[in-house]
């Protein structure tokens, strides 16, 4: 979020489980329009292939938010 406040467009990637926390934190930091992509929870404690699959599934949405 520091990069975003410095003027560098960013996309936060978080799990859907953390959506309420991410939304509240963005508002609290004065970034109510923060671009966020939510991936399946959890991302900790899962194998590399699972993480890569979730990341691959989020790439198009991240790019769209950064370039759209």
Q: Answer for the pair 31, 5: CB distance below 8 angstroms, yes or no.
A: yes
Q: What proportion of the chain, given as a percentage, has pLDDT over 90? A: 91
Q: What does the pLDDT look like over 32-58, one tens digit per residue?
A: 999 999 999 999 999 999 999 999 999
Q: Give the residue from 48, 57, 67, 61 showing the smallest Cα distance to 12.
A: 61
Q: What proportion of the chain, given as a percentage, has pLDDT over 70? A: 100
Q: Which helix (H) or strand (E) holds 48?
A: helix 48-67
1-5, 28-32, 37-41: least confident range: 1-5
Total count of domains within the chain: 1
The DSSP 8-state label assigned to residue 46 in this structure reads S
User: Which domain covers residue 17, as residue numbers?
Assistant: 2-67
- The CA distance from 37 to 13, in Å, is 5
Q: Give the residue from 35, 28, 32, 29 showing the smallest Cα distance to 11.
A: 35
């Amino acid at each position: 979020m520091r990069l975003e406040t410095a003027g560098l467009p960013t996309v936060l990637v978080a799990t859907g489980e953390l959506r309420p926390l991410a939304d509240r934190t963005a508002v609290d930091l004065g970034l109510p329009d923060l671009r966020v992509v939510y991936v399946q929870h959890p991302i900790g404690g899962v194998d590399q292939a699972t993480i890569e699959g979730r990341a691959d599934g989020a790439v198009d949405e991240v790019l769209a938010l950064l370039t759209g």
